[in-house]
A and B are shown apart, each in its own frame.
Chain A
Amino acid sequence: MKVLVPVKRVLDYNLKVKVKADQTGVDLTNLKMSMNPFCEIAVEEAIRHKEGQPNVAGSHYKAGTVTEIVAVSIGPDQAQETIRTALAMGADRGILVKVDHEVEPLAVAKILKAVVDAEQPQVVILGKQAIDDDSNQTGQMLAALLGWPQGTFASKVEFAGSKVNVTREVDGGLQTVALDLPAIITTDLRLNEPRYASLPNIMKAKKKPIDVKTPGDFGVNVAPRLKVVKVTEPPKRQGGVKVKTVQELVDKLKNEAGVL
């Protein structure tokens, strides 16, 4: 089956963001950008269902379950690098939908719906959230627009005939749902550990095709619905004190903080 994996270019997770002095947004100038970690997990999952895990006895990943992996990114020209990373990991080809400003999850979902209509994948695997806007919306929105079932926050994905079983990380523990294909899956942290692309694979990825489109090609209006009023620094927590002993700690908790 064909799998579509949307990938987002975001500020690298190791870096701390700076809020602009004029409160219009955050300053990303000259900062390292990387693939959103949850998207990396999505790419890895698709690849494992394509390659299988011949060296892992009893693995639920079966070679050939997935036959083609298409990585899509919606973003500026540089998002091609993010697609190249997915291709170097093992995706087969890429689609860049070029937009030079931020696109809200609803518009992203509409563009992805159009890509799904054109590509007809059986499954779309997305990250559960992007670590920049922390919205956690796109997969669910895409599922609603397509009328497909969804398995969000996945920690295990098992294909079984015309269905896929998805184990989900929920508040009380784990929940498993069976979804009729085609379906939407969003990844949580424990689904897998993404691989690093090897140098030969990075070289090979340079030859894999990337199609470049625009939202207009799909007739999608990407005008934002939410107006940014301002972006500010969070209130700073007052740095506390270091206590020297456990006794001093308990005394302070009881008599100074009053929380015991």
Chain B
Amino acid sequence: MAVLVIATHDNASLKEATSKVVSAAAKIGGDVDVLVAGENAGAAAAAAAKIAGVRKVLHADGGTLGKQLAEPMEALIAPLAAGYDAILFAADTSGKNIAPRVAAKLDVMQVSGVIDVLGPKTFVRTIYAGNAVLTVESSDPKIVATVQPTAFKAAGEGGSAAVESIAAPGAGKATFVGEEIAKSDRPELAGAKRVVSGGRALGSAEEFQKVIEPLADLLGAAVGASRAAVDAGYAPNDYQVGQTGKVVAPELYVAVGISGAIQHLAGMKDSKVIVAINKDEDAPIFQVADYGLVADYKAAVPELEGELKKVLG
């Protein structure tokens, strides 16, 4: 048995999601290799080699891989599949973009968003916005899956795997034009230990920045949002937490002015501690909140900041 994990990275650094997918791979069993495909991604490859339990790192480097577009990634990964029983991706926007292309090329039915591995071919995932939990057994000769990183503990460090260079593919029929990637000193939403999210109640982008961001900064938290807040332009699209946005599972999730629609809950209900601030005492968010405060956020959030400053020192 051998499993190939497709690394999540931005060329300069490896993302923690990779170590979490390695843990899922270890549960499948057999040797675990990691593919780092990028442009000038030597540092990410070196970091992958240090993950405990990794046998070998495959490093493909070239101009066609800088943005990890799906077409060259498929061209790179599909031929590698011959040497593996399973190929695992993180269930982030990159993995979701690429994995099904590889699966279809291999005539394999992909398993999306794996939250547990019960055997080499048996996986647990959720459907209907997390309202049902599905266990499936694959009859395909190979497994192609995306793994929900929040559901697995990161593999430790201490490995010293060999890094093997492999050739980068040629260009496909898609080209990178540009990007708007926000730079922020805050932790990344997907892996953050604390998250503060704002909802429609905030009413404007200015208010969102004035209320949610200072509270997040005080807690050292990432900032999230409901779909309603994103649709209305109060927060950027990559803040959306939920069924069709990001799935987070921090130690502390603070929901401010969010009602708690099932689509939102799907993205945060595995948080360890949930705090909800909402002026409607019947808001569904209170059914999942460990600590609910029925209050107007306009008064409650500044007060909360004051109290936090006392205890956080």
- Residues on A facing B (Cβ under 8 Å): 11, 13, 16-17, 19, 26, 38, 104-106, 109, 128-129, 131-145, 148-153, 155, 165, 168-180, 183, 188-190, 224-234, 237-243, 246-247, 249-250, 252-254, 257, 259-260
Do B103 and A180 touch across chains, with their CB atoms under 8 A apart?
Answer: no
Do B131 and A149 touch across chains, with their CB atoms under 8 A apart?
Answer: no
- A131 is contacted by which of B69, B129, B176, B300 (Cβ under 8 Å)? B129
Known: A26-B128, A155-B237. 8 other contacts (CB 8 A): A104-B109, A105-B110, A151-B174, A169-B238, A171-B94, A173-B238, A177-B175, A242-B292
The CA-CA distance from A169 to B274 in the complex, in Å, is 27
Do B287 and A190 touch across chains, with their CB atoms under 8 A apart?
Answer: no
Do B136 and A243 touch across chains, with their CB atoms under 8 A apart?
Answer: no
List chain B residues, Cβ under 8 A from A38.
244
Do B303 and A149 touch across chains, with their CB atoms under 8 A apart?
Answer: no
- Interface size bracket, B side: 35 or more
Given A152-B96, A180-B173, A246-B303, verify A137-B290 contact (CB < 8 Å).
Answer: no
Is B157's beta carbon under 8 Å from chain A? no
The residue of chain B having its C-beta at the shortest distance from the C-beta of A136 within the complex is B96
The CA-CA distance from A250 to B275 in the complex, in Å, is 10
- Residues on B facing A (Cβ under 8 Å): 67, 69-71, 74, 92-94, 96-105, 107-113, 122, 126-140, 172-182, 190, 194, 227, 230-231, 236-238, 240, 243-244, 246, 251-252, 262-263, 269, 272-275, 281, 286-295, 300, 303-304, 307-308, 310-312
Do A149 and B174 touch across chains, with their CB atoms under 8 A apart?
Answer: yes
Do A176 and B179 touch across chains, with their CB atoms under 8 A apart?
Answer: yes
The CA-CA distance from A232 to B115 in the complex, in Å, is 14
Do B304 and A179 touch across chains, with their CB atoms under 8 A apart?
Answer: no
Do A141 and B104 touch across chains, with their CB atoms under 8 A apart?
Answer: yes
The residue of chain A having its C-beta at the shortest distance from the C-beta of B307 within the complex is A250
The residue of chain A having its C-beta at the shortest distance from the C-beta of B242 within the complex is A189
List chain B residues, Cβ under 8 A from A231.
127, 132-135
Closest 7 CB pairs of A and B: A140-B100, A141-B104, A240-B290, A225-B109, A149-B174, A144-B104, A137-B100
